[in-house]
């Protein structure tokens, strides 16, 4: 028996138990409202979606073609429309998530106004956005189920079979999916990280991504000036997140450990080594140093370390930061990842400077020598020039193969004149298959785009403004927006219903019966869209 039928029976029994005082309560209406509000709290969502992620991770381990995907969303409505589109076009939300980007929170949701990705925005904005996203996803469930209930009533009134409609209700697939949520570098010390992680989990997050940068010096992963923290400091924050999950009963919550070491050449702190070969000594081994042969090699305020039986002086910059040796980024990434997985992290995030399957795969191969089931969450970042990167990758491969590339200029491959060339077509095919290729060859379990809806909002607004304020006038909106909504079957064309007016009418009828004042009568202009 379905949950809907169980609820209907339970409310029917309650009504009978409470006698005439509950005569106005319709058990079926109550069961419908329960079905439309399946998740009572954010913790219910976190537990439900954590189980989904764990299942998906196991299925990926067995078959790398079973990778997962998400798009970054900066507003609940954007997340809702994305999942409506996924269900409409793919038929299921299976292995499709949402991503909450700290970059977009900073740029679009801070009360300070637009900010760079430097953890200057209000940290509670992150948990508030998680709650907002799930509010909109739950509303999408309520709207679609409401439409099914109307179909059920209409079929009954017409004396038709209701079995098919009832089956859709009983087996309804929710729009509520896992969110991978960005906690940046933890917004402070490990206690601050724990407190914010709790808020995020209580809002519904089953998966928290944390990075190994210094919290008060955090930079976007695709900008310069990144400063990493020692392993012990980062592991303390991973522990803080795990304790938050366990305290709240989300025992299978997922932690993504992100390393920015590939592009970070600085550290703010030299950790204290207590035994030979410990984590601190491994971290310090990457420091750029000069030999200290006598006290004369030191100036006032200089620091000296004993490494490999000799004294060395770490290179310290005028700002007090310490420099790593050049060309050690890959080795530091591998150590970061192994250490994180050995100390509580579930997934890895390696922030790279370009989307290159070979580069990512080489690092993952090294990690898997120690942790065989290591797998990544990977940022298919809009900070990459995908067109240029892949055209240059094809160009370089052709040169290595000895193929004639005389008609191409490597430095100008972004130009429009190459768009229809053979090289561009090969490059576009590599872009198309990048996620599948990287899942198979580079251990990427989850592919996401951090900021796509930031860019799509800007592009669609530019196109509308260009025509509306130009010669097209109102036709720019009608032809470019509304007509396309109709042709492509977007539920949002009926914006009143999308915002909940029909659900409100249903509730008024439940509560007030024939006295209900409804909005969806004959004069509602939404009826104009009931056309082919």
For 25-64, the pLDDT digits (tens) are 999 999 999 999 999 999 999 999 999 999 999 999 999 9
Q: Annotated catalytic sites, by residue?
A: 220
User: Residue 460's pLDDT is what?
Assistant: 95
Percentage of the chain surpassing pLDDT 70?
95
User: Residue 171's pLDDT is what?
Assistant: 94
What is the arithmetic mean of pLDDT over 501-509?
80
Torsion of CA 107, 109, 112, 117, to 10 degrees: -30
The rounded distance, in Å, linking the Cα atoms of 308 and 289 is: 12
**497: pLDDT strictly greater than 90:** no
Angle ∠(316,318,324) on CA atoms, nearest 5: 30
- Average model confidence (pLDDT) for the chain? 92
Tell me the two tokens of residue 305. 């370390």
The rounded distance, in Å, linking the Cα atoms of 261 and 263 is: 5
Contacts 24+ apart (CB under 8 A), 74-78: 74/101, 74/104, 74/105, 74/107, 74/108, 74/109, 74/129, 74/453, 74/454, 75/108, 75/129, 75/132, 76/129, 76/132, 76/133, 76/134, 76/135, 76/136, 76/137, 77/136, 78/453, 78/457
What is the arithmetic mean of pLDDT over 137-158?
95
Percentage of the chain surpassing pLDDT 90?
77
Q: How far is CA 13 from the centre of its chain?
A: 43
| DSSP strand pairing (96-100 vs 179-182) | parallel
Residue 335 near residue 350, CB atoms below 8 Å: no
**116: pLDDT strictly greater than 80:** no
What is the arithmetic mean of pLDDT over 125-137?
97
**507: pLDDT strictly greater than 90:** no
What is the arithmetic mean of pLDDT over 281-300?
91
For 355-381, write each residue's pLDDT tens digit. 999 999 999 999 999 999 999 999 999
34-48, 265-279, 496-510: segment of lowest average pLDDT = 496-510
262-266, 288-292, 437-441, 522-526: segment of lowest average pLDDT = 522-526
**172: pLDDT strictly greater than 90:** yes
Residue 77 near residue 98, CB atoms below 8 Å: no
Q: How far is CA 523 from CA 317, 483, 501, 526, in A?
A: 72, 22, 14, 9
77-91, 92-106, 263-277, 341-355: segment of lowest average pLDDT = 263-277
**492: pLDDT strictly greater than 60:** yes
With cut-offs at 50, 70 and 90, classify the pLDDT of residue 296.
confident
Backbone angles phi, psi at 397, to 5 degrees: -65, -40
The rounded distance, in Å, linking the Cα atoms of 35 and 38 is: 5
Sequence-distant (6+) residues with CB within 8 A of 510 are 26, 29, 33
User: Residue 519's pLDDT is what?
Assistant: 59
Closest CA to 102 of 245, 190, 199, 219: 219
The rounded distance, in Å, linking the Cα atoms of 71 and 452 is: 7
User: Residue 521's pLDDT is what?
Assistant: 63
C-alpha gyration radius of the chain: 28
User: Residue 522's pLDDT is what?
Assistant: 65
Residue 241 near residue 192, CB atoms below 8 Å: no
**511: pLDDT strictly greater than 90:** no
With cut-offs at 50, 70 and 90, classify the pLDDT of residue 531.
low
What's the pTM?
0.93
The rounded distance, in Å, linking the Cα atoms of 524 and 502 is: 11
With cut-offs at 50, 70 and 90, classify the pLDDT of residue 226.
confident
What is the arithmetic mean of pLDDT over 59-86?
97
3-state secondary structure of 88: helix
3-state secondary structure of 378: strand
């Amino acid at each position: 028996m379905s949950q809907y039928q169980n609820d209907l029976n339970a409310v029917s029994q309650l009504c009978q138990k409470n006698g005439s005082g509950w005569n106005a309560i319709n058990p079926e209406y109550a069961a419908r409202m329960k079905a439309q509000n399946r998740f009572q709290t954010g913790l219910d969502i976190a537990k439900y979606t954590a189980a989904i992620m764990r299942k998906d991770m196991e299925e990926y381990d067995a078959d790398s073609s079973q990778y997962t995907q998400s798009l970054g969303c900066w507003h609940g409505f954007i997340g809702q429309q994305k999942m409506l589109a996924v269900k409409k076009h793919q038929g299921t939300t299976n292995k499709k998530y949402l991503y909450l980007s700290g970059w977009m929170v900073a740029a679009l949701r801070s009360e300070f106004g637009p900010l760079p990705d430097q953890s200057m925005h209000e940290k509670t904005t992150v948990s508030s956005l998680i709650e907002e996203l799930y509010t909109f996803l739950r509303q999408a469930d309520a709207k679609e189920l409401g439409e099914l209930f109307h179909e059920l009533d209409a079929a009954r009134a017409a004396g038709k079979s209701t079995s098919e409609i009832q089956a859709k209700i009983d087996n309804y697939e929710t729009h509520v999916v896992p969110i991978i949520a960005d906690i940046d570098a933890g917004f402070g010390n490990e206690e601050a990280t724990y407190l914010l992680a709790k808020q995020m989990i209580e809002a519904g997050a089953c998966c928290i991504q944390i990075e190994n940068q210094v919290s008060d010096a955090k930079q976007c992963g695709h900008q310069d000036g990144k400063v990493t923290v020692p392993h012990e400091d980062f592991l303390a924050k991973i522990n803080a997140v795990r304790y938050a999950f366990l305290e709240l009963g989300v025992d299978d919550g997922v932690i993504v450990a992100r390393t920015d070491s590939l592009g970070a050449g600085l550290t703010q702190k030299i950790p204290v080594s207590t035994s030979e070969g410990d984590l601190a000594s491994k971290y310090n081994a990457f420091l750029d140093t000069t030999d200290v042969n006598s006290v004369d090699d030191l100036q006032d305020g200089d620091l000296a370390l004993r490494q490999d039986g000799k004294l060395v002086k770490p290179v310290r910059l005028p700002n007090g930061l310490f420099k790593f040796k050049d060309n050690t980024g890959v080795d530091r990434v591998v150590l970061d990842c192994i250490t994180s997985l050995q100390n509580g992290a579930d997934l890895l995030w390696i922030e790279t400077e370009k989307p290159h399957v070979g580069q990512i795969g080489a690092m993952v191969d090294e990690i898997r020598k120690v942790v065989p089931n290591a797998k990544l969450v990977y940022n298919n970042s809009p900070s990459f020039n995908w067109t240029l990167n892949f055209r240059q990758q094809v160009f370089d491969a052709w040169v290595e193969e000895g193929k004639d590339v005389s008609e191409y200029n490597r430095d100008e491959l972004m130009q429009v004149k190459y768009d229809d060339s053979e090289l561009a077509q090969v490059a576009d095919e590599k872009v198309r298959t990048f996620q599948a290729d990287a899942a198979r060859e580079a251990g990427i379990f989850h592919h996401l785009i951090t900021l796509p809806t930031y860019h799509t909002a800007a592009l669609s607004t530019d196109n509308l403004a260009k025509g509306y304020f130009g010669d097209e006038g109102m036709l720019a909106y009608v032809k470019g927006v509304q007509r396309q909504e109709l042709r492509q079957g977007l539920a949002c064309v009926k914006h009143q219903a999308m915002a909940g007016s029909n659900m409100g009418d249903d509730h008024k009828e439940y509560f007030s019966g024939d006295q209900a004042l409804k909005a969806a009568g004959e004069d509602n202009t939404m009826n104009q869209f009931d056309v082919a």
